[in-house]
Structure 1
Amino acid sequence: VRIQTEKHYKGFWHCVQETYRTEKVWGFYKGVSASVLAISAISSVSFGTYKNFLCTICKLRYGAADAKPSKLDVSLAGGAAGAVRAVLTNPSEVAKVRMQTQRNPHPSITSHLASKPKYQGSLHCLKMITKEEGFGGLYKGCSALLCRDCSASAIYFLSYSALCDWLTPAGKNKPSFLVVLLSGGVAGVLAWGLGTPMDVIKSRMQIDESEQHNYKGLIHCVRESVRKEGAKVLFKGLVLNCIRAFPVNMVVFVTYEAVLRFSDYYIN
């Protein structure tokens, strides 16, 4: 978030060094509670939406919920999952971004008594945003988040499905563990590759507090960011996002497939 929203960082390692120098280890964990509180529940809802939406499409188009979906069906279901995810996660995204861009110098490097931070935690941050900016403040950047999550989620599930089909030998109806790992990792990288530009814009819109009004909306934020920093600004944090995405989504899809197979074996 800091790389995406602040101009003075020269790159990833410079950001790491400066964060540690001024805020020590704690600086790397700002906003983590907002993410942890939301990620498990939201991931469940997202994957559940995808699966149910896909089954509904198959039932309407082919007459059976378990019919093999087309690539378009998978993309539509993925986009729907992204839309649901965006609406549910926007408040926690705002809190995370505000917490991560808030400066709290570590006591060991300050010679005077540090002022009390505006946001004292994720829940306090949500409370303060609602108080100062109204309920709408919790949905700042929602347009960018919808663009990011709908497109990224569509390519996420599409690429995973396509890779699993391609790498699974004929005659087998389930991908192997290694295929799931590889397909999940690649799907995550592709999704973040597509989603990073809107992720940058989302973060910039969400740190724009009520008294600042730097951006009037999605298009204005894109235009101003590109005008001041060039088109490369839209890809800030891309490498870091992709490096993180591969192992994370390997685990996500292995878990997803394990749950599906468990339910098929013990429930259906």
Structure 2
Amino acid sequence: MGWKAFVEGGAASIVAGSMTHPLDLIKVRMQLPIAAGDSPVAAAAAARTGPLSVGIRVLQKEGAKALFSGVSAAILRQGLYSTTRLGLYDAIKEAWREKRLDPSNADLDLAVHKKFAAGLIAGGIGAAVGNPADVALVRMQGDGRLPVWQRRRYLGVGDALARIARQEGVGSLWTGSGPTIQRAMIVTAAQLTTYDQSKEFLAGRGICREGLATHVGASLVAGFVASVASNPVDVIKTRMMSVGAGDARYSGSLDCAIKTVRGEGAMALYRGFLPTLTRQAPFSVVLFVTLEQIKAILKDF
């Protein structure tokens, strides 16, 4: 039944997003632009700071609770974005499936380019649905990095969404929707297609039997490919979402990319890559292993 794919995907995504949230927070902190008042020496030091140092600094300055800043927004985002993208991906694959090979297998009988196209479509629609929660998430995760007098101190995702809409307009909830949709299309297509193909390769070549080892191995490959493909767009998305209404720092995605490269060098687009990878890899493992287990539980419904 069609509803199962949405329920399975949403539940697995919420579990994975909650468990890997501290890694996502560190990634966002690393991707945000250098604070305006920082000296050149401080800016250079910040650019060289690794994820472990950022995590320790958050713990020292803000406490352990800060590592879960925005977790309510993360749960809402997964509930909207990932439920939509994973459910649609399966629905589109089902609609496009070619029955000539093995009607019982959802992966072996669909060409890889069709899986990739299904991921692009599903990711784009999912991102459009989940963008307000994504804006709230970035704002809440980055709040502790701001000077004390500039902090927004949202009480939760509901408070963040209401205040952003009231103070900056409802349209502000779709700030950065362009790069968000682009990133989601890239991530979903790369991650889900790679997972399907890797699982097919491992099981089909007899390297691993269908089961936990295959799911973990395919998940790790999918996480790496998605990280490499999405990091530049993720940096742009994070920077555009972090600014408030009326801030004309960036006129669009391309302008943000150009200013980032001019000001900090091309590798600035890969700032936060290590935490992106260290988050994407466990996220993918938890996501797909949980998803496979939920599918097994619901197979008779």
TM-score norm. by structure 2 comes to 0.77
Matched, 1:200 2:235: yes
- Among 151, 160, 176, the alignment partner of 2:186 is 151
- Among 16, 21, 32, the alignment partner of 2:60 is 21
2:33 equivalent in structure 1? 6
Matched, 1:37 2:76: yes
Matched, 1:85 2:126: yes
Find the aligned partners of 2:87 and 2:59 in 1 and give their Cα distance.
39
**RMSD over aligned Cα atoms:** 2.9
Taking only the aligned residue pairs, the percentage that are identical comes to: 27
Deviations 1:70-111 (A, max 9, x none): 001110111122112211221111111111221389xxxx9x
After TM superposition, which residue ranges in structure 1, 4 or more long, deviate above 3 angstroms?
59-62, 64-67, 114-118, 169-172, 259-264
CA displacement at 1:35 relative to structure 2? 0.5
Matched, 1:121 2:156: yes
Q: Higher relative CO (CA 8 A, sep ≥ 6), structure 1 or 2?
A: 2
Find the aligned partners of 1:92 and 1:245 in 2 and give their Cα distance.
19
Contact 2:30 2:272 in 1 (8 A): yes
Alignment gaps of 5+ in structure 1: none
- Is the partner of 1:148 in helix, strand or coil? helix
CA displacement at 1:186 relative to structure 2? 1.7
CA displacement at 1:215 relative to structure 2? 0.5
CA displacement at 1:137 relative to structure 2? 0.4
CA displacement at 1:146 relative to structure 2? 1.0
- Among 88, 99, 105, the alignment partner of 1:49 is 88
Q: Equivalences for 1:1-268 in 2 at 5 Å?
A: 1-7=28-34, 8=43, 9=46, 10-40=49-79, 42-58=81-97, 68-103=109-144, 117-169=152-204, 175-264=210-299, 266-267=300-301
Distance 1:154 1:104, change over 3 A: closer
Find the aligned partners of 2:205 and 2:267 in 1 and give their Cα distance.
43
Contact 1:90 1:142 in 2 (8 A): yes
Alignment gaps of 5+ in structure 2: 1-27, 35-42
CA displacement at 1:213 relative to structure 2? 1.5
Please say which of residues 74-83 and 15-24 is displaced more in the overlay: 15-24
2:30 aligned partner, one-letter code: I
Find the aligned partners of 1:115 and 1:213 in 2 and give their Cα distance.
17
- Is the partner of 1:210 in helix, strand or coil? coil
Please say which of residues 192-201 and 5-14 is displaced more in the overlay: 5-14
2:92 aligned partner, one-letter code: F
Find the aligned partners of 1:171 and 1:31 in 2 and give their Cα distance.
43
CA displacement at 1:248 relative to structure 2? 2.0
Find the aligned partners of 1:115 and 1:208 in 2 and give their Cα distance.
12
Find the aligned partners of 2:97 and 2:151 in 1 and give their Cα distance.
55
Distance 1:60 1:207, change over 3 A: farther
Contact 1:55 1:66 in 2 (8 A): no
Find the aligned partners of 1:66 and 1:226 in 2 and give their Cα distance.
45
CA displacement at 1:259 relative to structure 2? 3.3
Please say which of residues 121-130 and 21-30 is displaced more in the overlay: 21-30
Find the aligned partners of 1:61 and 1:237 in 2 and give their Cα distance.
44
1:2 aligned partner, one-letter code: R
TM-score norm. by structure 1 comes to 0.86
CA displacement at 1:29 relative to structure 2? 1.7
Find the aligned partners of 2:53 and 2:206 in 1 and give their Cα distance.
51
Distance 1:222 1:115, change over 3 A: closer
